[in-house]
Amino acid sequence: MLRSAVAAIRDGPEAVVRAYAERGSEECTEGENTLLFLPVDDELRCRQRFGADVEYALEMHLRLNDTAALVARAWSARHTLFASPELPPLLPTERSACAVPLLDRGIPVAVLYLGFVKHLPRGEIERRCALASEIAAPFAIACERESELNRSLYDGLTGLLTPRAFRERLARALAENGDGGKVALWFVDTDRFKEVNDTFGHAIGDRVLQEMAELLRTHAVARTDFVARNGGDEFCAALIGIPKTLAIERAQEFCDAVRSHDFGIPLRVTASIGVAAYPFDARTAATLLERADRAMYVGKNAGRDRVSFAVEGREAALYR
């Protein structure tokens, strides 16, 4: 079991739990349900489920302080607990159950719930719990590695892609779209952001950047476009599969949305946006970023709060 769990570390925490569930299936423990609960705010939420009776288990949310719930009680106790009249199994079809907190240096990071349709002898349940406990260390390592990967991919303040992750994904998008595809790029600068920081402080400045990031998300198409914080008060967005003219129009819509948004400060926040498109303005990710960046500065130098776009043979042109 431990070897399987360790081997699964590279594929993430869910793979570690899957290794445990597959081992249970191999041992043919009849009617076993396996659920993984993770903490989210003040709740424990089901993230994975294995078994015949767990179709709707991913909808389960348990309060961390719910002393009547077996999983929540095990989380608080920091040791394995068994179902009892006071702490019944989670599912009505189960006759036996236990909850095994997965600890990292004594601190719970998740709870593995095991439910059994048949009433099992205590010794058999304890054996299954001991097996489940073996994945605690591999699970914690996989969580830590996943967290490190997320930190390298996502900006800590805004949750958007980091510059490096964005550039790598942009390069892949250009390669996947080929000569016949279309990829447009926005390069967004938050106008007079230094004035925001100097006047209201960095905490307010961070909040403005977070709201800018959220606005940018809402103007991108989910699962198609992707967005990043380029550093400081700059952002980038890649728009996949649309013509350059539409990318410019959408950029103007975003520019208008920033201008009209209430950032909670007595200072109007605006954005200058440069647009460039593949394959018309550039053939590589680096050149596309450079063209959009240069276009953005043309708009910024023309008075800010506007959209400008790359034009063949010259720096850029203003949209309006």
Which residues have a catalytic role annotated?
A: 233
159 with 134, same domain: the answer is no
Residues 124 and 186 both lie in one domain = no
Q: Are residues 163 and 209 in the same domain?
A: yes
Q: The domain containing residue 214 runs over which residues?
A: 154-318
CB atoms within 10 A of CB 301: 11
Residue 226's pLDDT is 96
Tracing tokens 């950047």 back to the chain, one arrives at 209
Does 172 lie in the same domain as 58?
Answer: no
* pLDDT at 30 (0 to 100): 59
Residue 26 burial (CB count, 10 A): 8
Question: Do residues 54 and 136 both lie within one domain?
Answer: yes
Q: Are residues 309 and 162 in the same domain?
A: yes
In the prediction, which pLDDT does 26 show? 61
Clarify whether residues 119 and 204 are in a common domain.
no
For residue 205, how many other CB atoms are within 10 A of its CB?
Answer: 20
Residues 89 and 182 in one domain: no
Q: Which amino acid is at 106?
A: G
Give me the residue label for tokens 């279309």: 182
Q: Which CATH number covers residue 18?
A: 3.30.450.40
Residue 179: per-residue pLDDT: 60
User: Which amino acid, residue 132?
Assistant: A
List the pLDDT tens digit at each of the 320 positions of the chain: 678 888 888 888 888 998 888 876 565 555 688 999 999 999 999 999 888 778 778 788 999 999 999 999 999 999 999 999 999 999 888 899 999 999 998 999 999 999 998 888 889 889 888 888 999 999 999 888 888 787 789 998 999 999 999 999 999 999 887 666 799 999 999 999 999 999 999 999 999 999 999 999 999 998 899 999 998 999 999 999 999 999 999 999 999 999 999 999 999 999 999 999 998 899 899 999 999 999 999 999 999 999 999 998 677 888 87
The HSE-up count of residue 68 (CA atoms within 13 Å, CB side) is: 0
pLDDT at 29: 53
Q: Give the number of domains in the chain.
A: 2
pLDDT score for 249: 96
The answer to whether the CB of 80 falls within 8 A of the CB of 101 is yes
Q: Are residues 159 and 142 in the same domain?
A: no
Residue 222, C-beta contacts closer than 8 angstroms, at least 6 positions apart: none
Are 160 and 277 in the same domain? yes
Domain end marker among 96, 121, 151: 151
pLDDT in the model for residue 28: 52
Question: Whole-model pTM above 0.85?
Answer: no
**Bridge partners, residue 32, by sequence:** 116
275 in the same domain as 130: no
Strands (E), the chain: 32-40, 43-50, 61-63, 81-82, 96-104, 107-116, 183-190, 226-231, 234-240, 271-278, 307-311, 314-318
**pLDDT for the residue numbered 21:** 85
Query: CATH number, domain at 227?
Result: 3.30.70.270
Last residue of a domain, one of 95, 127, 151: 151
Of the three residues 151, 177, 205, the one that is the final residue of a domain is: 151
Type of residue found at 161:
L
Query: Token pair 């990292």 is at which residue?
Result: 104
Residue pair 49/59 in contact by the 8 Å Cβ criterion: no
Q: Do both 76 and 177 map to the same domain?
A: no
